């Protein structure tokens, strides 16, 4: 709709629908002509059976007959295998920049499918997307995309950091992804870039980024010099308490020689003594995600209570290349298990950390809940465990999770043949629940549609009826994101229960 230059109450025109039908249209941006938008939508016929999304054009000024269907710019109906996430036109409207991942021949191969930068020539009669970043080494954060003068700004996940990279916008269209320029790093590790915006001429760049001592601040970046100026200091009051514990980077070697990267956060020796300290191994969800350098409330709360926290990015995680991410496909509970235990053992073996190898716990959420539960089926070394919003039975998960039936089938394999059923059971905590002896707190949310509540309830019941020391904590009205965006009172209550559990099973 056209907005008046001097609007008054009641004078605003009625909004006009630009799209119709049963397809979602999102991530829209205006084209310079002011008559069209570019956006992302799954408009191809097979959209109910695959993960593809197209870049589309939407007419911003529909005629008397109403909105027209979005016109695809990429070819999900034909040869394209891209899931487009983010679109941004150049200032002259000739090029469309896209963040997208390749879903492979089956159009479902999302496991560690690296998000890359693509360009599309909007002046071509049949535009073809060209990948501008390496398909194996570069994994960009969806949604973080800006054009600054003759450069394109993206955020790359790298070894626990998210760095801001400026890539040249004039790369030849036929360049091989492996030969694509690596660009200029404008905001480097240990920063964790969260958002980016830029003036079209590239003179002004603003980002938000977290750091080991900051949950997130606004930074101004000078593109020519690379100088960064912090414009806010929102964590100053927290730092002023003197109680932020800065984690130390930790490296370990898995039994097969593979390097594993992580961190250890130690409690304040002035308040909790010199040790040896009890240790909690913390495992992230995903699995294709990464723990980062950013200030992390989970780690800080446990360290404040007197626990050393070991956490890292085992194989299956993001930020270390495609091969690292795909290493656990059809192999949950194998090398990922080796990697997290290698991190823990490396920390325990370091005399400078003063950790107590006889007092260790393990906790994790989502996939981290999976691996926590899995570890308790494999070993009795842990004093206690916390299994949160866990992915615990891949069989029932396929039919009940909102992530889609494809997730378990792509990661663990199908269950349609006797051989496949055996392979699936070999990766399933529920299939081995009878081996658990570790005291376990099960935490779940009643409205969790990602890892449905039946996963946690059944884990609790199976432990309870086998005589394992276990408790169940259920949160009403919360979903899978409780620990990140749940109601503040519920987040506080959860921390209270977690600390109470550890204080009785693993006292400091």
The per-residue pLDDT for 180 is 63
Q: What is the pLDDT of residue 62?
A: 85
Between residues 9 and 484, the one the model is more confident about: 484
- What 3-state DSSP class applies to 71? strand
Query: Last residue of a domain, which of 110, 131, 152?
Result: 131
Contact (CB, 8 A) for 118 and 98: yes
Q: State yes or no: pLDDT of 51 exceeds 90.
A: yes
The whole-angstrom separation of Cα 346 and Cα 352 is 11
**378 found inside a domain:** yes
Amino acid 420: pLDDT: 84
Q: 66 falls in which pLDDT band (50, 70, 90)? A: confident
Contact, 111 vs 289, CB < 8 A? Answer: no
Q: Which residues contact 350 (CB under 8 A, 6 or more apart)?
A: none
CB-side exposure of 269: number of CA atoms within 13 Å? 7
Q: Say if residue 437 is exposed, middle or buried (CB neighbours under 10 Å; 0-12, 13-18, 19+).
A: middle
Q: Which of 101, 366, 428, 445 is catalytic?
A: 366
Cα separation of 131 and 383, whole Å? 49
Structure tokens at 495: 């921390």
Q: Among candidates 283, 290, 300, 447, which has minimal Cα distance to 369?
A: 283
pLDDT in tens, 298-318: 999 999 999 999 999 999 999
Give the residue from 197, 217, 213, 215 showing the smallest Cα distance to 205.
197
Same structural domain for residues 250 and 125?
Answer: no
User: 322 pLDDT exceeds 60?
Assistant: yes
Indicate if the pLDDT at residue 59 is higher than 90: yes
Predicted local confidence at residue 4, as pLDDT: 67
Q: Is 189 a catalytic residue?
A: no
Q: In terms of DSSP bridges, do strands 54-59 and 36-41 run parallel, antiparallel, or are they unpaired?
A: antiparallel
Strand (E) positions, 91-213? 95-102, 116-121, 130-131, 140-148, 151-158, 161-168, 184-187, 192-198, 205-211
In the chain, the percentage of residues whose pLDDT exceeds 70 is 96
Q: Quick check: is 219 in a domain?
A: no
Residues 438 and 291 in one domain: yes
Specify the number of domains making up the chain: 2
Please indicate, yes or no, if residue 18 is contained in any of the structural domains. Answer: yes
CA-closest candidate to residue 255, choices 312, 331, 321, 315: 315
**Per-residue model confidence (pLDDT) at position 63:** 80
Q: What is the pLDDT of residues 122-163, one digit of tens each?
A: 999 889 999 999 999 999 999 999 999 999 999 999 999 999
Buried b (16+ CB within 10 A) or exposed e, 452-487: bbebbbbbbebbeeeebebbbbebeebbbebbeebe
pLDDT at position 1: 55
- Confidence band, pLDDT 50/70/90 cuts, at residue 22: confident
Distances (CA, A) of 365 to 72, 162, 351: 38, 22, 30
Is residue 485 part of the annotated active site? The answer reads no
Contact predicate 46/106, CB 8 Å? no
Q: What is the pLDDT of residues 432-470, one digit of tens each?
A: 999 999 999 999 999 999 999 999 999 999 999 999 999
Same domain, 340 and 476: yes
Angle (nearest 5°) at CA 342 between 339 and 343: 90
Helix (H, G, I), strand (E, B) or coil at 108: coil
pLDDT at position 429 over 90 = yes
DSSP label at residue 321: -
Checking if the pLDDT of 11 tops 80, the result is no
Q: 250, 310 in Cβ contact below 8 A?
A: yes
- The tokens for 20 are 């119709």
How does pLDDT run across 368-416, given as a tens digit for each residue?
999 999 999 999 999 999 999 999 999 999 889 999 889 988 999 877 7
- Would 163 be classed as within a structural domain? no
Nearest-angstrom CA–CA distance, 426 and 247: 35
User: Does residue 359 lie in a domain region?
Assistant: yes
Structure tokens at 173: 């269209």
Residue 340 — φ and ψ, nearest 5°? Answer: -70, -35
Beta strands per DSSP E along 222-354: 228-230, 248-253, 259-265, 277-283, 308-312
- pLDDT tens figures, 257-278: 999 999 999 999 999 999 999 9
Cα 135 to chain centroid, rounded: 18
Same domain, residue pair 394 and 251: yes
Res 191 pLDDT > 70: yes
CATH number at residue 118: 2.120.10.30
In a domain, residue 37? The reply is yes
Write down which residue in 99, 131, 163 finishes a domain.
131
Would you say residue 199 lies in a domain? no
- Beta strands 116-121 and 130-131, pairing class: antiparallel
Check whether 182 has a pLDDT greater than 80: no
Q: DSSP H helical segments within 350-433, as ranges? A: 367-378, 394-400, 406-411, 418-425
Bridge-based pairing state of the strands 205-211 and 308-312: unpaired
What whole-number distance in Å separates Cα of residue 384 and Cα of residue 361? 5
30: nearest Cα among 90, 99, 118: 90
> Could you give the C-alpha distances from 127 to 19, 75, 80, 124, 130, in angstroms and in order?
23, 9, 12, 5, 9
pLDDT tier at 226 (50, 70, 90 boundaries)? confident
Does residue 53 lie within any of the structural domains? yes
Task: Tell me how far apart the alpha carbons of residues 316 and 337 are, in angstroms, rounded to a whole number.
Answer: 11
Residue 179 confidence (pLDDT): 61
Q: Which of 52, 64, 57 is nearest to 36 (CA)?
A: 57
Distance of CA 240 to the CA centre of its chain: 30
CATH number for the domain spanning 401: value is 3.40.50.1820
As a whole number, mean pLDDT of residues 465-479 equals 98
Give yes or no for a contact between 329 and 409, defined as CB atoms under 8 angstroms apart: no
Alpha helices in 273-366 (DSSP H): 297-304, 322-326, 335-349
Considering 82, 105, 131, which residue would you say is the last residue of a domain?
A: 131
Indicate yes or no: pTM above 0.85: yes
User: Three-state DSSP class for 497?
Assistant: helix
- The angle that helices 488-505 and 297-304 make with each other, rounded to 10 degrees, is 40
Contact 38, 86 (CB under 8 A): no
User: Which domain range does residue 445 map to?
Assistant: 241-505
User: Which run of H or of E encompasses 465?
Assistant: helix 453-465
Residue 114 has pLDDT above 70, yes or no: yes
- pLDDT of 175: 54
Rounded mean pLDDT of the chain? Answer: 94
């Amino acid at each position: 709709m056209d907005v008046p230059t001097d609007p008054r109450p009641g004078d605003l025109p009625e909004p006009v629908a630009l799209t119709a039908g049963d397809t979602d249209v999102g991530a829209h941006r205006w084209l310079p002509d002011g008559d069209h938008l570019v956006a992302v939508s799954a408009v191809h016929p097979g959209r109910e059976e695959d993960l593809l999304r197209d870049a589309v054009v939407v007419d911003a000024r529909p005629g008397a007959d109403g909105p027209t269907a979005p016109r695809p710019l990429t070819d999900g109906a034909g040869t394209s295998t891209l899931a487009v996430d983010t679109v941004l036109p150049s200032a002259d409207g000739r090029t469309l920049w896209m963040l997208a991942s390749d879903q492979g021949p089956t159009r479902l191969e999302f496991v560690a499918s690296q998000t890359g930068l693509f360009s599309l020539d909007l002046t071509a009669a049949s535009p073809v997307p060209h990948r501008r970043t390496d398909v194996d080494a570069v994994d960009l954060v969806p949604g973080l995309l800006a054009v600054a003068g003759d450069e394109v700004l993206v955020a790359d996940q790298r070894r626990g950091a998210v760095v801001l990279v400026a890539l040249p916008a004039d790369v030849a269209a036929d360049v091989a992804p492996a030969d694509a320029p690596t660009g200029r790093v404008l905001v480097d590790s240990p920063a964790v870039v969260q958002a980016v915006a830029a003036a079209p001429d590239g003179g002004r760049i603003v980002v938000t980024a977290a750091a080991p001592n900051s949950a997130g601040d606004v930074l101004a970046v000078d593109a020519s010099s690379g100088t960064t100026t912090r414009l806010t200091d929102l964590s100053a009051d927290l730092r002023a308490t003197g109680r932020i514990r800065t984690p130390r980077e930790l490296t370990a070697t898995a039994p097969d020689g593979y390097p594993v990267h992580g961190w250890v956060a130690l409690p304040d020796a002035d308040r909790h003594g010199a040790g040896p300290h009890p240790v909690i191994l913390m495992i992230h969800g995903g699995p294709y995600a990464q723990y980062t350098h950013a200030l992390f409330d989970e780690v800080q709360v446990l360290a404040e209570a007197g626990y050393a926290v070991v956490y890292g990015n085992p194989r299956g995680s993001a930020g270390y290349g495609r091969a690292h991410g795909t290493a656990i496909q059809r192999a949950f509970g194998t090398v990922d298990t080796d990697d997290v235990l290698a991190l823990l053992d490396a920390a325990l073996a370091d005399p400078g950390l003063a950790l107590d190898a006889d007092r260790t716990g393990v906790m994790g959420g989502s996939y981290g809940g999976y691996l926590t539960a899995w570890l308790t089926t494999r070993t009795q070394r842990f004093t206690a465990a916390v299994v949160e919003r866990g992915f615990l039975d891949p069989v029932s998960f396929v039919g009940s999770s909102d992530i889609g039936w494809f997730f378990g089938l792509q990661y663990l394999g199908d269950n349609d043949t006797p051989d496949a059923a055996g392979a699936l059971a070999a990766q399933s905590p529920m299939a081995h629940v009878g081996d658990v002896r570790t005291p376990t707190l099960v935490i779940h949310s009643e409205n969790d549609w990602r890892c449905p509540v039946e996963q946690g309830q059944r884990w609790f019941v199976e432990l309870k009826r086998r005589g394992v020391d276990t408790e169940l904590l259920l949160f009403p009205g919360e979903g899978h994101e409780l620990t990140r965006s749940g109601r503040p009172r519920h987040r506080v209550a959860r921390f209270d229960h977690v600390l109470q559990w550890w204080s009785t099973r693993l006292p400091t």
